[in-house]
Amino acid sequence: MKNLLEGLINKQDSIAVIGLGYVGLPLAVSFSKKANVIGFDISRKKVEDYKNGIDSTREVGTEKLKNSSINFTYSDKDLKNARFHIIAVPTPIASDKTPDLRPVTGASTIVGKNLQRGSIVVYESTVYPGVTEDICVPILEKESGLKCGIDFKVGYSPERINPGDKEHTVENITKIVSGMDEESLNIIADVYSMVIKAGVYKAESIKVAEAAKVIENTQRDINIAFMNELSIIFNRMGIDTEAVLKAAQTKWNFLKFGPGLVGGHCIGVDPYYLTYKAEELGYHPQVILSGRRINDGMGKYVAENTIKQMIKADKQIKGAKALVMGITFKENVPDVRNTRVIDIINELKEYGVDVFVHDPEADKEEVKHEYGIDMIDLEKNKCFDVIIFGVAHDVFTSIDLESMKGFFCNEKFVLIDVKAVFNRQEALEKGYFYWRL
């Protein structure tokens, strides 16, 4: 195993990245500048798109993808040619909010069947402490017939990709690394140091690294939940939350968080991994689950306040037409997985409102596949009772409040601005029934 790093640098051995989504693809492209890289995904369509230079994630870009030397494949047998495996598959939750480990156990099965002696397997997927060693290692051993610690070794290096962020890219974020022993830790640190300009941090154990990752997003979730709760309180007081936060942020140590919908494959999911393990050990988390309840209920809260604004404007609710602008889980990304905008849509439908969705950043086929929604072309649909901006895409900031009036059926303009895309005072002056978190 001592020759593994040298073999990667000399391109005699290969790095395999298993799972080519928002995390795996940028990582594979970065490593391909320094080493031989096998990019594996079970999706044939995704692999074919990447081979043709089509970046559906928009995290890398067509130019870099076309110029990369990655061997894209959906044949797991190609993994036999690698000795350093990085597993970067999603870790979602089930309908009952418990961890769904099928992607990571499935990836472990695939890698195990093709694992060679002298290899290292590193997990990047967000999990609760213990998953790598207690769940994944036995699968690797069973499928490979090899013994962990003797024939191969494992490590954990949590992903820190922020989709849509072109500043904090994979090379520019400090990388936590961990290994099952000192040898594996040092090799893993050296391999990642080939591409991570910001440097690596050696965690003292795999469980520590797993825990560090899961609390990063849990901390953000709790802070956003606090902002959401404040917005509910201030709304009842008739105070604008955005104005309150601007005033409070003049203090140097006031944390800059804001209210909003918490979705996606990280912040809205990871806390449930931690609470699942805590409850398994006999402790019922108070703060974390309280924050989750608040954030999970924000879509319903937005919908309820939408109905209230429509009633103020003397709109008939049943049969009213609502235009939802933006359905991705965050601004300026095409990813619609676990978007909480769908909660607003579903709740409005419960009131009998006809909901239409437009999002220039999202893929129409993916939205149809995930949610059964046919997105509309705004040029062909211009008669709505209420417009809801659910996501703060940059493209939306250029929309003029005056010209937007042309999308309403009458002169009762109801505007729900979830992420404060527009100036509140200007909207009120132009005659809008305006509401935001």
- Written in H, E and C, the secondary structure of 59-73 is CCCHHHHHHCCCEEE
Strand order in the sheet with 71-73: 71-73, 36-40, 14-18, 84-87, 119-123, 152-156, 175-179, 200-202
Q: Which helix (H) or strand (E) holds 291?
A: helix 287-296
90 by DSSP, 3-state: which? coil
Q: Which of 136, 148, 266, 383 is catalytic?
A: 266
* Helix/strand/coil for 96: coil
Gap between the Cα atoms of 3 and 25, Å rounded: 26
- Cα torsion 372, 45, 125, 158: sign: negative
Is 266 designated active site?
A: yes
Angstrom distance (rounded) from CA 333 to CA 137: 34
Sequence-distant (6+) residues with CB within 8 A of 387 are 322, 323, 325, 404, 407, 408, 414, 415, 416
For the chain, how big is the Rg over CA atoms in Å? 24
Catalytic residue IDs: 266
